[in-house]
Chain A
Amino acid sequence: MYQYDDIDQRMVAERVAQFRDQTRRFLAGKLSEAEFLPLRLQNGLYIQKHAPMLRVAIPYGLLAARQLRMLAHVARRYDRGYGHFSTRQNIQFNWPKLEEVPDALAELATVQMHSIQTSGNCVRNTTTDHFAGIAPDEILDPLVWCELIRQWSTFNPEFSFLPRKFKIAVSGSPADRAATWVHDIGLHAVRGPDGEPGFRVIVGGGLGRTPMVGHAIREYLAWPHLLTYLDAVLRVYNRHGRRDNKFKARIKILVRELTPEGFARQVEAEWQHLRDGPGTVPAEELARIAERFGRPAYPTLQATSAAHETALHRSAPYARWAQRNVHPHRVPGHAAVTLSLKRTGVPPGDVTADEMEAIAALSERHGFGEVRVTHEQNLILPDVRLDDLPALWERLRELNLATPNIGLLTNIISCPGGDFCSLANAVSIPLAEAIQRRFDDLDHLHDIGELDLNISGCINACGHHHVGHIGILGVDKSGEEWYQVTLGGNQGPQAAIGRIIGPSFARGQVPDVVEALLACYLAHRVSEDERFVDVVRRIGIQPFKDRVYGNADRASQAGTESLAHS
């Protein structure tokens, strides 16, 4: 966990004072609605359906126990006792009062937290692999780099008013658990010809209205140049990105218009003015940040644990949980554990204040007081001893945090949807619940195997539906809510945008549609190892379309009735 120094702390405190003054001037009528809007957005404050929504930054998804306790306090004192973890690894509170937000921010600042740049047309929270620093397959630990990018992007004056929002993701591992191909900038740790670590730079990916997989514009950038190169990319975008049409203002549109090669040429030309300049990263700064992270001193343990092995043999539910929710760790005798926030009947990503406090306590008992937020809206205890897993499992079951569904169909990514968000065309949370209820049989769920199902309530795609193996998008048809289904999306190294299978469905039909898609998959897979998305890639979407919509011949053969809204 990066510990602020005096300068970091002062900047956050000054930000609170600044926002308090801005809020006061707004409430006094000295700042117009239009003038206050970008100021409050850059402090994570939206005006939503019921109340303002405050989005608090969790830089690259890392939380200390004391920070989680503060979030619990904020949830109780300023909200209704719960929070919602977002796909940007942040947390959202849906019911604060505008005039109390400066007080909430002041309390958050006491534990080195803030809401800086969690919205608005600026560089947002940089996200990374939720196993950063502990994954066995890592080329480099992205956390130090994420903190360096956090400081570079925080109040970066040149990029305060970009054409549109800007999201950066960093992956330290070839497995890419950070969806880097669908970010404005994705950074992959790679080794250069001399073995020195550096980054592959991907630009122009993104979801939303015009989903695109990004383009690698530089295969290797030596690490000292990272920030000057980012300066060059952002400057080209800031100067030439479209400002006349909000829907064409993301960098992906500029990259498409210039072509990736043309964009890369402009960046290289701009970078010639910047490279080796004062923005070059000194090794001392990396060392300073790494020192302030203070990585834990792990005990030396056996690579295996008798207690864990015994539990695996004795208890099928434990084995199922271990298979889905326990993940390898680079340090022998340790594991990372995902706490599923995808409990049927609870909106995906929602956690109560009581649960936050219980999780904070667990992070101290079973680790070093650290919790991770995943972009799939779950929480992780990163440093659990294998010996402790059985006891932890028992406790998590009591807390309803042990649903063994990580990577499975019911681990649904969902935005808050029409119940909360004023942009949404349709609700998301009740649909997620309907699907979870339909597939609540764990044996069946595990038999179906790995499957990402993502739901967005509108085309802004906060629920990442484009990269769901099954994606569901709420659409508006003459004031009614309907749902469009996409297939074959993927967020990892083989990133792909899902394809629409056909006309959209009423909400009540969607669980049936999912069931039909799964029946098609199960009929076509060659083995249990062939995942849903692999089958879609192999046989295409036509057989799935036929199964769902039927057609004159095949529908009668298969006995399926058409589910489509025509």
Chain B
Amino acid sequence: MATLIEHRKPVPNRWRIPDHGQADLGETPPAAWDIVTLARWRALGADMQASGGRAAPIGVLLSPGDDPHALHADLPHLAMIAIHLPVFTDGRAYSSARMLRQQLRWSGPLMAVGDVLRDQLLLLERCGFDTFRLRADQDPQEALSAFADFSDAYQAWAAPVALFGRRALAQGARP
């Protein structure tokens, strides 16, 4: 069982994640801890989606070109949203994550899968990812140091406010 990074800590991976390009798990209904592609999720039908969500943790995998708004009505039934990075230089997942967090108000776990490397972890986290399945050759323990590369940023981060907002607050708090 491979390791995930979850909230900056290595944890055992319980999720079954479809490899990109491979067929989904077929006709069998998804079991607990399955992540299914958006197409398969759609094919499940409303009953299964709802029951799957209630009875067992199920996740959906978005391709970088998928519109996150397509998940709008599904969010209550999902225990995980994963976004695939086919290559680490494909920046679309960053926008998808921002849209899920800021526009769709998704507060559940958000996982980056695919070509996920040490040097992009902090940028991905700052867009809203909190869970990472690193590429197989990456050492999760060594990769953790990436989160310490920067102590602050100009843009909104975990704090939902940009640095200029925080600077203003700090100024206001000064006696």
* B6-14, B25-33, B46-54, B85-93 - the one binding chain A: B85-93
A39 / chain B contacts, CB cutoff of 8 Å: 119
Query: Which residue from chain A places its CB closest to the CB of B93 in the assembled complex?
Result: A161
Assuming the A-B contacts A157-B155, A239-B92, are A22 and B119 also in contact, with contact meaning beta carbons closer than 8 angstroms in the complex? Answer: yes
Asked if A281 and B164 sit within 8 Å, CB to CB, the answer is yes
Asked if B163 and A157 sit within 8 Å, CB to CB, the answer is no
Partner of A157, one of B88, B94, B164, B167: B94
CB distance from B157 to the nearest CB of A (A): 8
CA distance A155 to B90 in the complex (A): 16
Assuming the A-B contacts A35-B117, A273-B103, are A155 and B92 also in contact, with contact meaning beta carbons closer than 8 angstroms in the complex? Answer: no
* B173 within 8 Å of A (CB atoms): no
B80 / chain A contacts, CB cutoff of 8 Å: none
* B5 within 8 Å of A (CB atoms): no
Asked if A279 and B94 sit within 8 Å, CB to CB, the answer is no
| Residue interface mask A2-45, B partner, CB < 8 A = 1 | 00010100110011011000100000000100010011000000
* A284 within 8 Å of B (CB atoms): yes
Residues of B84-123 whose CB lies within 8 A of A: 88-92, 94-96, 98-99, 102-103, 117, 119-120, 122-123
Asked if B95 and A238 sit within 8 Å, CB to CB, the answer is yes
* A278 within 8 Å of B (CB atoms): yes
Partner of A278, one of B89, B99, B154, B161: B161
Q: Most chain-A CB neighbours within 10 Å: which of B119, B122, B164, B171?
A: B164
* B70 within 8 Å of A (CB atoms): no
* A365 within 8 Å of B (CB atoms): no
Asked if B126 and A157 sit within 8 Å, CB to CB, the answer is yes
Asked if B94 and A161 sit within 8 Å, CB to CB, the answer is yes
A274 / chain B contacts, CB cutoff of 8 Å: 102
CB distance from A90 to the nearest CB of B (A): 20
Asked if A155 and B154 sit within 8 Å, CB to CB, the answer is yes
Asked if B94 and A238 sit within 8 Å, CB to CB, the answer is yes
A235 / chain B contacts, CB cutoff of 8 Å: 95, 98-99
Partner of B123, one of A10, A157, A238: A157
Partner of A11, one of B99, B102, B152: B152
CB distance from A150 to the nearest CB of B (A): 9
Asked if B124 and A157 sit within 8 Å, CB to CB, the answer is yes
CA distance A31 to B117 in the complex (A): 10
* A247 within 8 Å of B (CB atoms): no
A11 / chain B contacts, CB cutoff of 8 Å: 150, 152-154
Residues of B56-104 whose CB lies within 8 A of A: 88-92, 94-96, 98-99, 102-103
Partner of A7, one of B122, B155, B162, B163: B163
B151 / chain A contacts, CB cutoff of 8 Å: 10, 14
Query: Which residue from chain A places its CB closest to the CB of B160 in the assembled complex?
Result: A278
B94 / chain A contacts, CB cutoff of 8 Å: 157-161, 238
Asked if A284 and B102 sit within 8 Å, CB to CB, the answer is no
Asked if B95 and A121 sit within 8 Å, CB to CB, the answer is no
CA distance A156 to B95 in the complex (A): 11
CB distance from B120 to the nearest CB of A (A): 8
* B144 within 8 Å of A (CB atoms): no
Assuming the A-B contacts A284-B171, A285-B168, are A156 and B89 also in contact, with contact meaning beta carbons closer than 8 angstroms in the complex? Answer: no
CB distance from A371 to the nearest CB of B (A): 26
Asked if B119 and A157 sit within 8 Å, CB to CB, the answer is no
Asked if B167 and A288 sit within 8 Å, CB to CB, the answer is yes
CA distance A389 to B171 in the complex (A): 43
Asked if B89 and A161 sit within 8 Å, CB to CB, the answer is yes
B168 / chain A contacts, CB cutoff of 8 Å: 282, 284-285, 288
A155 / chain B contacts, CB cutoff of 8 Å: 123, 150, 153-155
Query: Which residue from chain B places its CB closest to the CB of A120 in the assembled complex?
Result: B89
B124 / chain A contacts, CB cutoff of 8 Å: 157
CA distance A157 to B120 in the complex (A): 9
Chain A to chain B contacts (Cβ below 8 Å), 16 pairs:
A7-B167, A17-B149, A35-B88, A151-B154, A152-B154, A152-B162, A155-B153, A156-B154, A157-B123, A158-B98, A158-B127, A238-B91, A238-B92, A239-B92, A278-B160, A282-B165
Residues of chain A touching chain B, judged by Cβ–Cβ distance below 8 Å, are: 5, 7, 10-11, 14-15, 17-18, 22, 31, 35, 38-39, 121, 151-152, 154-163, 235, 238-239, 243, 273-274, 277-279, 281-282, 284-285, 288
A155-B155, A235-B95, A278-B156 given; name 7 further pairs at CB < 8 Å.
A10-B151, A14-B151, A31-B119, A38-B89, A155-B153, A162-B91, A235-B98
Instruction: Give 7 nearest A-B pairs by CB, closest first.
Output: A161-B91, A285-B164, A157-B126, A157-B123, A151-B154, A18-B149, A158-B94
